[in-house]
Structure 1
Amino acid sequence: MKEKFLDAFKEALEIEEDNVEMNDVMSDFDTWDSMSRLSLIALLDEHFEIEISDDEFENMTTVQDLYDKVQTKVQADG
Structure 2
Amino acid sequence: MEAKFLEMISEVFELEDKTIAMRDTFRDYDEWDSLTRLSLIAEIDDVYDTVIEEDTFKHLTTLGDLFTEIQKRINS
Same fold, judged at TM 0.5 (above): yes
The residue number in structure 2 matching 1:29 is 29
- Distance (whole Å) between structure 1 residues aligned to residue 44 and residue 4 of structure 2: 10
- For structure 2, the residue ranges without an aligned partner over 5 or more in a row are none
TM (normalized to structure 1)?
Answer: 0.89
The aligned amino acid for 1:28 is: D
Query: How large is the RMSD of aligned CA atoms in angstroms?
Result: 1.1
- Distance (whole Å) between structure 2 residues aligned to residue 13 and residue 56 of structure 1: 20
TM (normalized to structure 2)?
Answer: 0.91
- Give how far 1:70 is off: 0.7
The aligned amino acid for 2:15 is: I
**Size of the alignment, in residue pairs?**
76
- For structure 1, the residue ranges without an aligned partner over 5 or more in a row are none
Runs of 4+ in 1 over 3 A off after TM superposition: none
Moved more, 64-73 or 2-11: 2-11
